[in-house]
Each structure stands twice: as C-alpha cells, then as structure tokens.
Structure 1
C-alpha cells in the first residue's frame, strides 16, 4: 500500500549507498507493516536506528512524520507532537505568546457536535478533515456518526480506506488502511459499521502529482453520487483536501468536487486550532480560546450567528488542551460509549498492553486500546464486550494474557 503524507511534492531521490532517502524510508515502512503485523513497537525501534543527520530536508520531514504517526498509534502523544513539530523547528522563534481578547469578546463559543449536526440537516455532502497524527479527531467523528446516520447520510468515504470488502466482512484488520492501525481510527470504523454506513474507498492510486491525486479523489466521489443521486455523503479526508479554494496551483479535492458536481459541500476543518509541542506553533485564536474559555469538548466560534472559519472551509473547530503529564488524554474518559477498565499493574511496569476483541483471530488485529504501563494506576477505555489483554515486553513477546469482560 502506498502511503501519502503531507509533503507538498515528493521527488524520489536516487539511491545513494549509506544515505537515507525518501524511497528507503517508504521501503522500510512497507517491510515493517508486512512482516510485523500487530507489532506496534518495532516501527519506532527500527526508525530510531536511522541516522537522521544523513538525511536531506525532505527526507527528514518524512522521517518525522513517520515517527509522529507511530508514536500516536501507541499512545505516546507527547512524543508524537514532538516529532511532528521537528519538521518546523528551524522556524521556531522566541516570540511572545499573543492573545486576541477582541476575538474572544466578539464571539460566542458553542458545542461543535451539536452545531454541526444541526447545520448538516439540509446538506447533501459534508467533508471533514483530520490531522493524521491526532487521534482525537477520530474520536470526535466517531461521536458524530450516529447523528449523521439519523440525518440520512448513507455513505462514509474514508481517504485511508484501502479495502471496500469491509462492507461484507465487517471486520477491521490492519490490511484495510494505514492510519487505521491507530486503535481510535479502527474504533471509528467499527462504529461506522455499527451505524450501518456503507464505507467507500475513494483514494487515488499510482500518481505522484498532488493536483492529479485530488482531482481523481473528486472523480471517485462524483461517480458514487452518479450511481446513487439521492444519497447523502460524509467524507473523511486528510488536511487541506477539504479546501474549497487555494492560493496555489494545487487545487484540492473539495474544489474539484464542487466544480464537477455543482454540489457545494459543507467543509469542516479540525486541523489548525490544536495543541502543539511548541506553543509558538499554536494559532493566536487557539491560545485565546484556551485562555479565556472554559470548555472540555470541541467548540466553534459564532459572531451574530455567523460561523468564524479559516480560509477555504465553512467551519473551523477549536480543541481544548487534552494532554497532561503522566496521564492518558482526557478525551478517552469523556467518550460516553466506553468504560474505564482498571489494570492490575503490580510487577508489570514497562510492559505494553493491548486489548483485542475476543472474537477476532490473531494475525492482523487492531486493538481497541493499548498503552505502556507507566504508573501503578492505569486504565484501558473499552466498549462493553469481551476482550483478550496481551501483555508484551520490548521484544513484542507475550508474557501474560488475560480475558476480561466490560459490562454496560
């Protein structure tokens, strides 16, 4: 499977002995995925061995994206943020943190979930994006799915989806996508199946042109609506693909889609107003909202009933600060569909725990939750059901297993 990251343009460099290139990074990643299913530790271990100093700027950027993604998969969210920001640390300035009190005073801040579902009532196509290293974007979309289904949305098109047979198998495995290796992404897909969405694969393949990729994505979505003209469609994409315009020659998927279909999608961005490892990279609006507004769920800003938004989208979300040292993120405990399962951590500090659905066969499973045991009081967050807990050492060897049930 070819993995697309957010590099504006990737030129596959010539192989040079001893030099780490973009091509070598992709090859290493592909080997890890194919040879080590269910092993979430080895990717980080192998990437840690690479000599970063031997990489050119574009290769370093991809390296940091891989590291950020894999750390997000295993719940090392602070490390994930660190590696993501390493791409831009050369531009870091010791500027004074700025707060825009006028922005705060001129806007009301309302629950994003309620507002979006109300706004989407009369929409035919809704597009929402994610940052590929931010799992709580998937948590938020999971919480929207029931509401969208009740509004009559039938299809959920997922950029990462590689195997549309999931609509028949109803089983989420590590072969259906790349970012869906993240437990929270997998849980979002499972929730979509529970809500009886038809999942749609729409990614463009075999192109190294960003503009061509976006145009082919739009073509695939337009074809879907040609075959089912009355359908309502929810699209889950990465980053700027939901932009309805651009300042460059790189036209995005949503803009192509709008021109092809004459349908103006409701576009929603989750990716700008989020916490970063370096506060200097956070937007002034994010800093302001988190300083002056008390909130624990995503919000949007309204001025005279008009939505404030970033360029090229209709709605922009503001997220609270979720991460605190030595604690799992608050959004895990706020999910109404999951229960906190306390772990017996005695004598098991440092082990990696994965909670798999008991009904799934070993080999290509994606856990419902996973963590490293770091303290004497740890919790897994799981939906009601039966699970197998696997406790693994740093070599990914199972040293203990336990069957547990989570009651409603």
Structure 2
C-alpha cells in the first residue's frame, strides 16, 4: 500500500513538473527584435539587450529545469529566452506578468536574487501592475560574476513600459541593422513583421527597402508583386505613347540581339558609355552583363562601378596569377552591398574574365556626391587619356544636364572633361513593347513631363531574370536534391543559396552566391536550374539556422 501511494505521489509530481509550463505566454508572438532592441508591441514594453545573444524557441521542460526553485518565475510568463555566444556566457530569460499585489505609479526596481555561488541574478522592474523579471545565469565557469551583474543592470535599466522604442523604429533602422546579414529570408521577415504604423511615407520606405532585399532572389513572387504595383501606373501612362511609336517604328530598336548590336554600333566611336540601373531590378544587371563583350570588342577596357566599396576595386583583378595580397577574380561580401546580389556578382565575374579593369568611383561622404563621382571617373582619363570607359551607375546619376533635383554626375563629368558620354537609361520607361528589350531615341519623348530626357536613349528592359538569360543553353542543367531534413519545414519558407565551390571554400559566408531562392517547402525535394559545375549548396531557415550545407555537382546526366 505504501509503495502504491509513493508511486502515485511520484507520478503526480512528475505530471505537475512536466505540465506546469504547458501554457506558453501568448504574448511571445508579438516579440520583435531589431538588433539589440527588443519590443513587444502588444504589451508596450521594450529594452536594449545585446547583439551577441542567440535566441531559442521556448521548450517547457528545458525552461522548467532552468527556473526550478525560483518561486517568482513561471513558465507561462516567459517572453524571451536566449544565450550569449561571446563572454560573459549566460542564459537570459525575460518574464512578464501583471500580478502586483500593490500597484505603484512609479517605476520600481528590485534585486530578488544575487547568487554568487551559482553565478546568477534575478531583477524585477515594475510599474503599475506590470512586472518584468530578468534572470541571468552563467552557463560556463566564470572567474567573476561582475560582468554578469553589469549586463543585468544595464538591460533592466533600459526596460521601458511605454511605446517610445516602437515610435522610434523605422524601416531605415531595420535595413541598416541587417545590411550585413545575407539571410534574406530572415531580413524579409523583419520587414514584414515590424510594428511600424502604416503611413504614405512608411509604406514607401518599406517598399524600397523590401524590394532591395527581395531582389537577391530574382524569381521571388513577392518581389514581382511589389514591382508590378510600382510599375502599374507608369505602364498605363506610357503605353499609349509606346503604341503610337511602335506604329511608326522610326527611332526604335526591338529585340535583344538587335538592341545589343545597336548599342555596340552607337558606342563604337564614343569614349564613355554610361548605363544606369535601378537597384531593385536584377535584370538590369543581366543586360549590363550581355553588353560587356560587345563593348570590349569596341575597345572599352575600364568598367567604373558606382556600387563598389572604397578600396575594393584594387582587389578585383582579372589576372589569376597576380601577387597582390587579397586579390581575386570574383566579388565577395566586402566588394559592396549591391554587388552581393547574384546577378551583380556575375556581372563582376564576367567583366574580370573579359579583362576589364574595375574602378570604384562612389564618393566617401565628403563634398557634393555628384561632383566627387564625376571627378573620380575623370581621374581614369587623367592617368590614361585614351581610355574607353563603361560607367555603370545608379538611377539618375547619368543625367547629362540639370534636372529638377539639380545637376548629376554625368553633367559635371561633361563639364570637367569636355567629353559628351553616350547615356542609356533603362530605369524610367515602362510599357509593353512586345519584346524583351526596346531602345528608343530620346527625341521621341521630348517634352514628356513624366520623363527626364537628359540622356541619349531610353530602354525598356523586360528580360526575365534567370540564369538561363545569362548562361548559354548547352551549359545549363536541371538539378534536384532530396533531403529528409526538409520534412521538418513543410509549408514553411527556407532560403536556398548556391555558391561556386572555389569561392565558398575560401571565403565561406563572405562569398557571393550564384543563386538565392526563397522556397516554400511542400516536399523533401528541391528543384533548381544551374550552370554545369561544382558548387556548395546552403539551406537556411527564417531564424538563420543552417539546415544543410553540402557540395554538389551539376551535370547534364540527371
């Protein structure tokens, strides 16, 4: 009988132990992290944590063990659980409840536990009936608990019971905080879940930043939807004009091969060829890549790229046998921000393969940006007066005369050098020309109030952004991979990145992929289309956990 009672008691105790954390805090889903800033939009609480914390999913059994014996802490109140990955090493648990017996109208902070033996600390901060509990506990042997205590005091001092942190959050903050993170699925999620009020201004900012992020996956359906929405009014405005011009046909060149040949002819006797891009459109980089060989045949040897970071041009060398330390014939993460996009990366690889000398000309934050850019390009001519230069710029910088927003780089360049560049704008004209590429003489749009006509040619670029548009058909192959690990992510999005084997083997996460693809998993099989070759395949989830990293060989035998 006693054994039976004891068995029932132990069983009941075990049941209580395992189920006491059954109820997960419903407010966890409203947590938002932007770097070190933590915001819970619904509870109106925030604090500044540290950027060296890896956050974990809340598992009842694990949390119960960590807070065992601390009566003030309940699993159901847990909001945040993470662990630092640099010293001091500790678990961080942040709890919230509304169980004050005595409501106060001022903020009160109380140290409930400071255990030097187990190196842990528990601090409570309260206002009205709201309580935040911060619990830190070392996970490695520490010589002193001072860093732990200082971190705890710092975090709890930044806890706020208001909406200030939320009101200060902007899409620019989010973009800059995640600019160096190459998991674009994670960054996309940060934009889509940000607790930012919708206004005309914030919506526009969100669009621009999100389109920039999503452009790293050129086939992304969300990107296409964003760009379709951006273009719809512009296409409606320009289409009647395009239709009327198509009927006349004069001053228009249609078709990919015809447009490329036309630009080759136009640039033959020019010293400077300027082409622009919109940073949201990977297909702009595909056209730029297709023009490299024809322009090289015309004697162009320099490629000046706005998007190159300071000092990176000297490390991008076409000669594989160069002795310059750090030199390479392909881009890396440090080459620039926009150059991390796969099609921009391929643009740089192809330019170096063809023997172009790459020059970065962006200004460094001092002086007038347009003037500095123009002078930096002029320096190429100062050193090589006969140089033929391809300039690849962003948006309006190729305007040759003053626009409504003042003078641009090309305008100053003409003044400083006396050279009239050939300028082609592929960023502002939208419409259906029944062709992937359509080139229009600028005279056809003279006086149009919706266009800046301070360029030589306008171009509609409707090239489909795919590797098939870049590589020859005989070098492409279908590739499928079946991985059981993907079963865990059914109906969830994952990020697939493909890197050249040689590049990833040397630079790892600093490599620029040949392909990024956000995929909604419906089976354990992934289908890709890639150039024949050897690669590293990397698959990550929305929390930047690596699901798979392996070498693959793509051939035409599958």
Give the TM-score normalised by structure 2: 0.58
Matches for 1:114-129 after TM superposition, within 5 Å: 114-129=261-276
User: Does structure 2 conserve the Cα–Cα contact (< 8 Å) formed by 1:352 and 1:372?
Assistant: yes
How many residues of Structure 1 are paired with residues of Structure 2 in the alignment?
Answer: 359
Give the Å deviation of 1:139. Answer: 0.7
Counterparts of 2:235 and 2:514 in 1: how far apart (Å)? 39
User: Does structure 1 conserve the Cα–Cα contact (< 8 Å) formed by 2:541 and 2:547?
Assistant: yes
Q: Which residue of 1 aligns with 2:352?
A: 193
Q: Which residue of 2 aligns with 1:40?
A: 184
User: Does structure 1 conserve the Cα–Cα contact (< 8 Å) formed by 2:303 and 2:359?
Assistant: yes
Counterparts of 1:161 and 1:93 in 2: how far apart (Å)? 32
Task: Write 1 or 2 for the structure with the bigger share of strand.
Answer: 2
Of 232, 241, 248, the match for 2:397: 241
Counterparts of 1:273 and 1:77 in 2: how far apart (Å)? 22
Q: Which residue of 2 aligns with 1:386?
A: 534
Matches for 1:323-338 after TM superposition, within 5 Å: 329=465, 331-337=466-472
Give the Å deviation of 1:355. Answer: 0.7
User: Does structure 2 conserve the Cα–Cα contact (< 8 Å) formed by 1:68 and 1:81?
Assistant: no
Give the Å deviation of 1:314. Answer: 0.9
Counterparts of 1:245 and 1:139 in 2: how far apart (Å)? 27
Counterparts of 2:382 and 2:509 in 1: how far apart (Å)? 38
Q: Which structure is richer in relative contact order (CA contacts within 8 A, separation 6 or more)?
A: 1
User: Does structure 2 conserve the Cα–Cα contact (< 8 Å) formed by 1:61 and 1:87?
Assistant: no
Structure 2 residue 204 is matched with structure 1 residue 61: yes
Bigger CA radius of gyration: 2
Of 308, 312, 315, the match for 2:457: 315
Give the Å deviation of 1:245. Answer: 1.6
Counterparts of 2:372 and 2:386 in 1: how far apart (Å)? 22
Give the Å deviation of 1:67. Answer: 0.6
Q: Which residue of 1 aligns with 2:280?
A: 133
Structure 2 residue 385 is matched with structure 1 residue 229: yes
Give the Å deviation of 1:101. Answer: 3.7
Give the Å deviation of 1:236. Answer: 0.3
Q: Cα 1:60–1:332, aligned 2, differ >3 Å: closer, same or farther?
A: same
Structure 2 residue 501 is matched with structure 1 residue 342: no
User: Does structure 2 conserve the Cα–Cα contact (< 8 Å) formed by 1:123 and 1:265?
Assistant: yes
Give the Å deviation of 1:179. Answer: 1.1
Q: Cα 1:76–1:48, aligned 2, differ >3 Å: closer, same or farther?
A: farther
Of 43, 52, 60, the match for 2:196: 52
Q: Which digits, 9 at most, give the CA deviation of each residue in 1:242-282, with x for residues without a partner?
A: 111234251011111011100000001111234xxxxxxxx
Of 414, 420, 424, the match for 1:264: 420
Gaps of 5+ in 1: 1-15, 275-285, 323-328
User: Does structure 2 conserve the Cα–Cα contact (< 8 Å) formed by 1:202 and 1:221?
Assistant: yes
Query: SS at 1:234's partner residue?
Result: strand
Q: Which residue of 2 aligns with 1:147?
A: 294
Counterparts of 1:139 and 1:93 in 2: how far apart (Å)? 22
Q: Cα 1:268–1:83, aligned 2, differ >3 Å: closer, same or farther?
A: same
User: Does structure 2 conserve the Cα–Cα contact (< 8 Å) formed by 1:299 and 1:318?
Assistant: yes
Counterparts of 2:338 and 2:495 in 1: how far apart (Å)? 20
Counterparts of 1:18 and 1:124 in 2: how far apart (Å)? 52
User: Does structure 2 conserve the Cα–Cα contact (< 8 Å) formed by 1:243 and 1:252?
Assistant: yes
User: Does structure 2 conserve the Cα–Cα contact (< 8 Å) formed by 1:137 and 1:270?
Assistant: yes
Structure 2 residue 338 is matched with structure 1 residue 182: no
Of 396, 399, 403, the match for 2:547: 399
Counterparts of 1:308 and 1:231 in 2: how far apart (Å)? 32
Q: Which residue of 2 aligns with 1:283?
A: none
Query: SS at 1:153's partner residue?
Result: coil
Q: Cα 1:181–1:266, aligned 2, differ >3 Å: closer, same or farther?
A: same
Structure 2 residue 167 is matched with structure 1 residue 167: no
User: Does structure 2 conserve the Cα–Cα contact (< 8 Å) formed by 1:340 and 1:379?
Assistant: no
Give the TM-score normalised by structure 1: 0.77
Moved more, 257-266 or 307-316: 307-316
Give the Å deviation of 1:152. Answer: 1.5
User: Does structure 2 conserve the Cα–Cα contact (< 8 Å) formed by 1:300 and 1:308?
Assistant: no
Q: Which residue of 2 aligns with 1:357?
A: 500
Give the Å deviation of 1:332. Answer: 3.3
